[in-house]
Amino acid sequence: MRNYLDRWTRRLVRRGLRAGLIEGSNTWLSIGAIAWLVRFLSRRPPPQVNVERLRLGESILVTHVAAPPRSRRQRRKAARNAARLEERQAKDRAKREASRRYVRSLVKAADALAVDAAKQERKAARAAASPRARRREEAAARDHSGKDGEEPA
């Protein structure tokens, strides 16, 4: 279909320029201008092509994004479908948040975080109270006191 349209518009443009500009027919000049406008507006950009060498471990993800809707009807339909999807997702989210199982899982996760934090605090306290940590602190204190320029007595 596209080739057919392209062929006819090309013929009309050529005929319109010949008959309109050379022979002086305003009608054919108008037809040629309209055909040229149709050809100009129906052009599509060339597909985007990317050529690169892949290194070891790299991969490619090929996706296709649908073209945006062109007509007003299609745009409205897409907007309605998007609104329905958003509404359904909000409803599902509210339903999930209202369920007891969801609340229990939130409480369980919060408890697990609190237990992990308490374990970390206990571990840090034990490490600070260990004999090795005390010796390290004493050595650091001696090093700092000797750097003031005074000789230890």
For the segment 88-109, what is each residue's pLDDT rounded down to a tens digit? Answer: 999 998 888 888 888 888 888 8
> Within a domain: residue 127?
no
pLDDT at residue 45 greater than cutoff 80: no
State how many domains the chain has.
1
Residue 89 confidence (pLDDT): 94
User: What's the average model confidence in pLDDT over 4-30?
Assistant: 88
| pTM for the full predicted model | 0.32
> Within a domain: residue 79?
no
Indicate the range of 79-83, 94-98, 149-153 predicted with least confidence.
Answer: 149-153
Encode pLDDT of 26-39 as tens digits. 999 999 999 999 88
> Within a domain: residue 24?
yes
CA distance linking residue 36 with residue 145, whole number of Å:
89
Alpha helices by DSSP H, 99-152: 100-129, 131-146
> Within a domain: residue 89?
no
Domain with 7, as residue range(s), is 1-43
pLDDT at residue 23 greater than cutoff 80: yes
What number of residues does the chain have?
153
Q: CB of 46 within 8 A of CB of 33?
A: no
Residue 152 confidence (pLDDT): 52
> Within a domain: residue 137?
no
> Within a domain: residue 81?
no
> Within a domain: residue 2?
yes
Q: CB of 41 within 8 A of CB of 12?
A: no
> Within a domain: residue 96?
no
pLDDT band with cut points at 50, 70 and 90 for residue 1: low
